[in-house]
Amino acid sequence: MFGLFGKKEDKIAEAKVMSHIAASRAEALNALAIKLKQKPGHVFWFFRETKNQFINYLQQHGITYHEEAAPLDKTDAVYLHDATKFSSSAPAAEWTFYCIDYFPSHFEFNKLQRHLALVNPKADLHVYAGLDEPLFKIFGGDRILVLMKRMGMKEGELVEHRIIAESVTKSQKKIEEHSSSFLPADSAQEWFSKNFPDNKI
């Protein structure tokens, strides 16, 4: 009987995604900057435009930050990392992980989740994003925003729910149904313009 149905494949570990969604990207980035004053950590970005916008908020709040060359074993400051280049297996149980982009391709975004799980198997990845970003707008972000405002969502308030992360994953996978090879870009808007010029998703 043993081995009758073959060996079950082990599930690859990945960091659990926690979504923190605001009405706009500006509100989301500002909220994260405020959060980092209380709980510093490592912030990952996929698009250079988003990173530059976030740096402006860090500077407005007087927060010192370090970029790629910063040692990865530090937990008492803010460190910015290119998510597409991050790969570390050094154990870091005390790290707090944040991300300021939902990359449109689930495959690319999931690579970051897996890398973080190697660093800390119990890691959470806190993603801060706005409903006005291209990925959300394509899949009904405007309708969600209207609904949330009717429910009493206030300016600057964040919606935090795992269901949102699951919905984003479905949207990312739907995008991958149209293509598995994408052109790089410096912003989410440019990414969609380059890879879906006809807006057919």
User: What does the pLDDT look like over 62-87, one tens digit per residue?
Assistant: 999 988 655 555 667 898 999 998 76
pLDDT of residue 195: 92
Say whether pLDDT at 140 is over 70.
Answer: yes
pTM of the predicted model as reported, rounded to 2 decimal places: 0.86
Say whether pLDDT at 116 is over 50.
Answer: yes
Say whether pLDDT at 93 is over 70.
Answer: no
Are the CB atoms for 86 and 72 separated by under 8 Å? no
Which pLDDT band, with edges at 50, 70 and 90, does 100 fall under?
very high
Which pLDDT band, with edges at 50, 70 and 90, does 95 fall under?
confident
Residue 5 lies in a domain: no
Residue 41 lies in a domain: yes
Percent of the chain with pLDDT over 70: 80
Residue 107 lies in a domain: yes
Q: Domain range spanning residue 86?
A: 16-195
The CA distance from 181 to 163, in Å, is 27
Half-sphere exposure in the Cβ direction for 56 (13 Å, CA) = 9
The radius of gyration of the chain's CA atoms, rounded to the nearest angstrom, is: 18
The CATH number of whichever domain residue 163 belongs to comes to 3.40.50.300
- The enclosing H or E element of 80 equals strand 78-82
What's the average model confidence in pLDDT over 127-146? 82
What's the average model confidence in pLDDT over 142-170? 75
Residue 36 lies in a domain: yes
pLDDT of residue 122: 86
**Which tokens sit at 182?**
């994408």
User: Count of domains in the chain?
Assistant: 1
